[in-house]
Structure 1
Amino acid sequence: MSSYLFDQLAFVRGQTLQALQDVPEEAAAAVPEGFRNSIQWQAGHIYLAQERFAFVLQGQDGDVPPAFPAWFGAGSSPAAWTEPAPALAELRERLRAQQERIAARWKGRLHEGAPAPYTTSTGLTLATTEAFLQFTLYHEGMHFQAIKMYKAMLLPRPRA
């Protein structure tokens, strides 16, 4: 199971990175009309949440720059940013490297219990490293879909 979970994490992250690959910085920073966030925010939020679930809530050191929770935490929005957030190119690199760190840290250790169970905003209680990482598949999938939707609204469609 553990190898398959890492395969799933890599697959989902690969899909996210592929969706972000062709997004110009200007479009990444744009907030579509009627929405609170941008593609840039979606990418940063995926990164921040994965750090929390894969490392911080497991009692491990995560790679969370100090301003990331204000920029990309739940309930945040680019409308409230007082300084420029990282460019999409930096966020893509962080997302890519994150999967390597997760696999290196947790391979063969997924059964370990977290320091404390955690109940998500959707009401699911997580107690093992494996459960925390499995939940991130759902979370990233939701934000991947938002990225695809925002791209459809913001980027011109190629002509056939």
Structure 2
Amino acid sequence: MQVITNHKVIRNNFEKAVEKVNETDLVMIPAGFNNHILWNIGHAIVTQNVLLYGMSGLDFTLPIGYIKRYKKGSFPAEIEDPKTELENIFELGKIANEQLGYDIREMKFDDYQPYETSFGITLNSFNDALQFNNIHESLHLGYVIAIKRALGY
């Protein structure tokens, strides 16, 4: 599926984008921004789980603590060890994607609750959500890049 291939590229681009960002800058909120690099990455990964699993009436595949910390409407929390948090987020995202592949093959997403996004796009099915997720993650990848520039990278 092209949508899955595109998603893997987006996630890879998140990892590339932060390769040379120091730990302090992962949680720095530059003037004019409401959140930091780490929050944008965590939010992208959590939102995928909420849109695909939550709106399908299935259990999340991410720990509820991460869902609460990075869900829509949340604000960056104090993070004691940003580098470890980032590594955990990326690892949880990979595990969640593996589970997603399995669950798609098992056709677990047959009951989707329609949801209107803040973009004004209504998601009426799992496939709508899967495609929209790439738009959403790309937006937050753009924020990560913009924050890096604001921080002088």
- Determine if contact 1:113/1:127 at 8 Å carries over to the other structure: no
The 3-state SS of whatever aligns with 2:112 is: strand
1:9 is matched with 7
1:40-72 superposed Cα distances (whole Å, 9 cap, x missing partner): 110110111011112111122212323334421
For 1:74 and 1:6, how far apart are their aligned partners in 2?
23
2:115·2:124 contact (CA, 8 Å) conserved in 1? yes
Aligned positions, number: 151
Partner of 1:122: 119
Select between 56-65 and 67-76 the one with higher mean Cα deviation. Answer: 67-76
Say whether residues 1:37 and 2:31 are aligned partners: no
In structure 2, the partner of 1:58 is 56
Q: What displacement does 1:114 show?
A: 3.2
Higher alpha-carbon Rg: 1
Aligned partners of 2:106 and 2:6: how far apart in 1? Answer: 16
Mark the runs of 5 or more structure 1 residues left unpaired by the alignment.
Answer: none
* 5+ long unaligned stretches in structure 2: none
2:147 alignment partner in structure 1 = 150
> Equivalent pairs: percent with the same residue?
25
Q: Which has the higher strand share?
A: 1
* Greater Cα shift, 127-136 or 9-18: 9-18
1:20 aligns with 2:18: yes
* RMSD (Å), alpha carbons: 2.3
Distance 2:95 2:11 in 1: 10
1:132 and 2:129 correspond: yes
Using the TM superposition, give the Cα deviation of residue 32 of structure 1 relative to its aligned residue in structure 2, in angstroms.
Answer: 0.8
Q: Which TM-score applies when normalising by structure 2?
A: 0.84
Under a length normalisation based on structure 1, what TM-score does the superposition of the two structures give?
0.81
